[in-house]
Structure 1
Amino acid sequence: MFPDPLEHAANAGERMDWLLKFPQLDPDWLLTAKRAIDGSLKALTRSYGQSIEDFFYPLLQVLIFFENVMANAPWPLIVIAAGALAWFASRRWAEVAGVVATLAVIGLLGLWVDSMKTISLVLSATIFSVAIGIPLGIVMNRYRRLGAGMKGALDVMQTMPPFVYLIPVVMLLGIGRVPGFIAVVIYAVPPIIRLTDLGIRLVDKEMLEAADAFGCSPSQKLWKVQMPLAIPTVMAGINQTIMMALGMVVIASMIGVQGLGLNVLQAIANQYFTQGIFNGFAIVGIAIIFDRISQAYGRRLQKHRGASHD
């Protein structure tokens, strides 16, 4: 008898099925593993939730203090301080005028208080990120094997979708300032770590040889030669950290972080086009202020470094 064509085709399809469907672990085992991990986190929260909140209570107070200072300070004082900072960083009146004009537009749009809340969170997150990132960048440079592992971790941190960072912090801490702040810091800290390591590695070998010739110890060579020469690169890392923190603030509004990000989220939910555009422009204005000041200061340090070499 001739073979049934339909049966033959079905058998061929079964034989080729392994090419079309990627092999995977047992679905029941994966489901059990996922439930075990999620259950462990929930059990940890139920057992130690209050202790975790108590541990982060000082951080909450710091964040509230920063927010109250920025939101309740007289607006002329904020404008003068921002202008003075722009002058210190750039020594150019054009930069000062740009910063003052941007803040004036933000205020005229009725977004002053929300902008100050956003700036307070970005500043506090940047301070914490720098305090964590520079030492980790030094460690990454000093210990090559550990640095290789840190590089892989930083690759994961920088490619992970920002929304994923919200899941574990919400499970452990709920919603509010502290979980939003932690998510912002985790998202913003990789650039300062990477560029601190890069800045140290870019120091001229002649300078290091001269330091060795003068009998500098490793710690003296680090703090008196490498770190001062790496400051322009470190400033670029701080600039990138600020930008990433500002971008994450909008996403962190989903878990209760107040400020411009919350306004944007409300505009999306209610389809308020004008509200979204105004708050978006305010966020862009704040980003431009931070970017101009940090880049201008980095250029000044670069020029100073070149002059000292000459």
Structure 2
Amino acid sequence: MSADSDAFLAMLAAERGAAANTIAAYRRDLAGAAEFVGDLASAGRDELAALAGHWSELAPATVARKVSALRQFYGFLIDEGRIADDPSDALPRPATRRPLPKLLSHEDIARLFDRAALEAEGGEIRAVRQLALLEMLYGSGLRATELVALPLAALPRDAPFVTIRGKGGQERVVPISTRAKAALNRWAELRPSGSRYVFPASGRSSAGHLSRVRLYQLLKGLAGRAGIDPARISPHVLRHAFATHLLEGGADLRILQALLGHADIATTQIYTHVDAARLVELVNSRHPLAARGLARGGTSV
């Protein structure tokens, strides 16, 4: 790695609060490009344009990530006065389309909660924990990592919110519903001591927290028992359901951005596409002319 690359990565960490995984990904992308074109700071447009062929077998999303890393790197060099001309406009422009998230209906959510509540009625510790986890995932839209690593100190006794430290170390305040608060209080009565986390790990590592892998397993098991295909369920899918259903209920996109902890509103805007997709599905399935058109061999509205 060159001194310029090291300085750029140091800036990402110090000024933008980039996470370690993000820094590592940028480092790999810059190093891979440098192996092909040589010194990035002195590379011209022709060398950067040739990367299109070098990356031809990669997925468009992967190419887009690499291009983003290089564009930011050259922007840094411009800002630092290291180069006078930005050659990054010669980089390939892959046509990427952000995939729509998997969707859960309100009925799917109701089945999950009905099953989780039924299992928690007996007071068994794992079932009570399961219900609290589900309430926080769907009720507050937390990421899996944020939930399993949630420290006790982040939960105020009386205030109806929790302070989350998300990607890049950025903090945000997320409301806790009355239902979720009740589930957490019930879990607090049974929760093993000895850990600073809300959801401690079990077994010998009880001082640590529940793992993301275990959280995935718990949700998929619950889905199966609720009669839902486990492949459709994950912590991220529940986060998407939280966002989609809030938007359907009239939530403002900027408020949704703050609740989800998105740095860029463009990331949140995918939910407007989800909402539009639901509207199209609704028209095609429920409009009076839809059934009539299909019956005559036509297409849906």
Q: Name the TM tier (shorter chain).
A: under 0.3
What TM-score does the superposition give when structure 1 sets the normalisation length? 0.22
Larger Rg: 1
What TM-score does the superposition give when structure 2 sets the normalisation length? 0.23
Which structure has more relative contact order (CA 8 Å, sep 6+)? It is: 1
